[in-house]
Amino acid sequence: MVERRNKPTALATTPGLPPQPQVNFSHSNSRVTAVLPTGDSVEILLYGATVISWKNRFGTEKLWLSDAAKLDGSKAVRGGIPLVFPVFGTSPDHAATSKLPQHGFARNSRWEFLGKSSSESTGPSDSSVKLDFGLSSATLDDEVKKLWPYTFSLIYSVTLTPENLSTSIVVTNDGDQPIEFQVLMHTYLRISDISKIQVTGLEDSEYIDKVDAAKAKKQSGAVTIAGEVDRVYTPAKGPSSPVVIEEEGETVFSIVRDNLKDVVVWNPWTDKAAGMGDFEPKDGFKNMICVEAGSVKDWITLDPKDAFEGAQTISD
């Protein structure tokens, strides 16, 4: 047999596809996890479509999750990013949502995983993955339908890149009457020491101080935390200007919003944390701050067949 001088070597030299994000189900298909080739990861509980973990490539957790959080679908999750819809808190004077539980039903409903999409990447550093979740009046629990009898659909998307985590929601009015609602992404950020935190980007902004009889106030300078804080800000600079969380002068998170005009800043501090059965450890308030993008000061009115979209992007 004659030895060929130039043997075909295509199989050996053809470059393989770059590594792709991996998406898996776990815990009896109740959770979806996505891991990028870089090692960044995100985990979402189908109950509430609640993001319960966001880790960077070093495995550092970016979200605060209570040690006593219920992850079995028995109640809303304490920590991560619960989704508030269609009411923020309770609103006994608003007829359409007056019968709903605190923060509405989105965080207490089981969502459907609609699928994933990932970016075309030339290498691990520019890879991303988007996970889509759905909830609608067709899949809503019958008891909840009685409390909020509107025809609607929600698509909630969680997008992970090596640089940031984005969450977006599309609300569609599929019925024949207007819908009024509020929406909020109740993000619990993990920090090292609350006494060393300041939040910038809210200077000169009007806010409602829920700890002080819901008085209207105006922020001067950076926000610092030295006691219970529960404030609804309407940032003076608008959604595209970042709200920045700094720890000892170093930026640890930056949040940019799209079509969500309000920002809630919350920390329960000692007494309130002690009174919440699912808040553990009790001094966990020292390691978390909620900076929540939403539209909650007023009501969004959505006409029949119209859609609303809002989003946040958190960079670390």
Residues designated as active site: 186, 292
Q: What is residue 192's three-state secondary structure?
A: coil
The number of helices, as runs of H, and strands, as runs of E, in the chain is 3, 21
CA distance 148 to 98: 9
Strand order in the sheet with 250-258: 112-118, 129-136, 152-160, 164-173, 307-315, 250-258, 243-247, 197-200, 223-224
Residue 269 φ then ψ, to 5°: 60, -165
Which amino acid appears at position 312 of this protein? Q
CA distance 215 to 173: 33
Cα–Cα distances in angstroms (integers) from residue 289 to residues 54, 251, 253, in the given order? 15, 14, 11
Q: What is residue 147's three-state secondary structure?
A: helix
Q: Do residues 293 and 312 make contact, with C-beta atoms less than 8 angstroms apart?
A: yes
In DSSP terms, which residues pair with 232 in a beta bridge? 208, 264
Helical ranges in the chain per DSSP H? 10-13, 142-147, 269-275
CA distance 90 to 101: 7
Spatial CB neighbours of 278, under 8 Å, sequence gap ≥ 6: 66, 68, 69, 70, 75, 78
